[in-house]
Amino acid sequence: MKRRFKIWAVSEGPFSADQLVNEMDYEFDLPDEGEYVVVCKVEENNKIRDEEFWFLEKEDAYNFKNYVDSKMEAIEITDEGIMNYEDSGKMC
């Protein structure tokens, strides 16, 4: 399944799974393969919403955040099924 979307900005994070559960009363199921989450403003089909992006390593989550923060315009993504959205956490 091909998916096209834009990442406009980081809304929150990165947060560790422990922080979400112990400090923030996270109400959704945590993915099996995610330890750190970054919440971004995503545009898809002309609608903007928050979406979670999960990472195994803290450094990867911070690198992603810094990359998104460094851009003046949206980052356009074309995903051809590489990202597994069932395991990516709750999309708000």
The CA-atom distances, in angstroms, between 10 and each of 25, 71, 81 are 20, 11, 23
Residue 63 three-state SS: helix
Strands 3-16 and 36-44, sheet pairing: antiparallel
pLDDT bin (cut points 50, 70, 90) of residue 81 is: low
pLDDT bin (cut points 50, 70, 90) of residue 46 is: very high
Residue 79 and residue 83: Cα distance in Å, rounded? 7
